Amino acid sequence: MNEWLPIVFAGLMGLSMLLYVVLDGYDLGVGILLRQADAAQKDVMIASIGPFWDANETWLVLGVGLLLVAFPAAHGIILGALYLPVAFMLVGLIVRGVAFDFRVKVHDEHKPFWNTAFHAGSLLAALSQGFMLGLYITGLEYDLAGVGFGIAIALCLVAGYTLLGAGWLIMKTEGDLRRRAIGWARRSLWFTGIGIVAVSLATPLVSPRIFEKWFALPNLFLLMPIPLLTALLFMACLQALVRLGRGTPQREWVPFAASIGMFVLAFAGLAYSIVPYLVIDRMTLWESAAAPESLRIMLFGAAVTLPAILAYSAYSYRVFWGKTSELNY
């Protein structure tokens, strides 16, 4: 049992971070796109994420919390190396949180300032997260290659979040805003694909162990479905966006679902590459795990907290599903 506890907590932490990237990813994407809309459309975009965005960030708190309590040694290394980008991310999340509440309460002449703040906070948070991902993959080293790759992945993650946000708006809005969201999604899709390819190419190059894990037989054939399915989802998303842009009958949820699928597959490929390490080639799950007695106690807490968050999130999405109406207070 003691040997399985770190694996259980690693799975819970991974699930939390994946849900954060997907759920908060789309509302960060909506915030990034906010600057490209007119005043009336901005209100509809904000209304589309209003019931969800705050709860979506809960998954980040849970994921980082599990890293802290279950893997304290790895937490110290990872958060120590990523101190500055984490600080920038928190500033971005705080700014967008304040802007979200203030923009609906101020006089009209002050509203553009808070719209800009919401956009800037969303963009800063997304860039910081992408930079952290790039730096983590390259071994948490602030050398030229690591920083350069981090910047590139930061830009690609912004595109990925924009794709999720545009896909969300396609489902939730109508009229001219929906048509614009289709165009935003088509442009973002290509940069998202570039980011997925870049991460896929860089991951095996940072470690001979990962390279061997990818390309040794029969691992190569077992891993092959991930890039093939990713390519199929990319094409399905592109085709759906083309059909929607032409007005051809097409299920509106397809681009959003395909985008989520690409993120899930990319996450699965990354997890396959680094496991059993939390810090690539430096610290395994078992080396960084807390004492078994502590993990057993925390498992009871996770068994209560995780279902509660899932139930609340599912209920809120069920209640507020459907097309977004005009924002009013």
Residue-averaged pLDDT of the chain: 88
220 class by beta-carbon count within 10 Å (0-12 exposed, 13-18 middle, 19+ buried): exposed
325: in domain: no
Which of 162, 158, 136 shows the shortest CA–CA distance to 149? Answer: 136
Distance, CA of 203 to CA of 214 (rounded, Å): 10
Beta bridge partners of 283: 279
For residue 304, with 0-12 CB atoms within 10 Å meaning exposed, 13-18 middle and 19 or more buried, which class applies? exposed
283 membership: H or E segment, kind and range: strand 283-284
Q: Please report whether residue 101 resides in a domain.
A: yes
Give how many domains the chain has, as a whole number.
1
Residue 324 resides in a domain = no
Section 152-179 average pLDDT: 91
Q: Per-residue pLDDT for 222 more than 60?
A: yes
Two tokens, residue 1:
């049992």
Question: Closest Cα to residue 67, out of 6, 122, 2?
Answer: 6
Within a 10 A sphere around the Cβ of 101, how many other Cβ atoms? 11
pLDDT band at 327 (very low <50, low <70, confident <90, very high): low
Asked if residues 185 and 166 have their Cβ atoms less than 8 Å apart, the reply is yes
Q: Is residue 104 part of a domain?
A: yes
pLDDT at 255: 93
Residue 24 included in any domain: yes
Task: Please report which helix (H) or strand (E) contains residue 279, including its range.
Answer: strand 277-279
HSE-CB at 220 with a 13 A cutoff on CA atoms is: 5
Residue-level pLDDT at 326:
65
Boundaries of domain holding 34 = 4-319
How confident is the model at residue 328, as a pLDDT? 56
Question: Distances in Å between the alpha carbon of 198 and those of 21, 191, 246?
Answer: 18, 10, 31
326 is a domain residue = no
Q: Which two tokens stand for residue 308?
A: 């509660």
**What pLDDT does residue 2 have?**
66
Looking at residue 305, which CATH number applies to its domain?
1.20.1630
What's the rounded Cα separation, in Å, for the pair 241 and 158? Answer: 19
In a domain, 150, yes or no: yes
Q: What is this structure's pTM?
A: 0.91
27-31, 288-292, 320-324: segment of lowest average pLDDT: 320-324
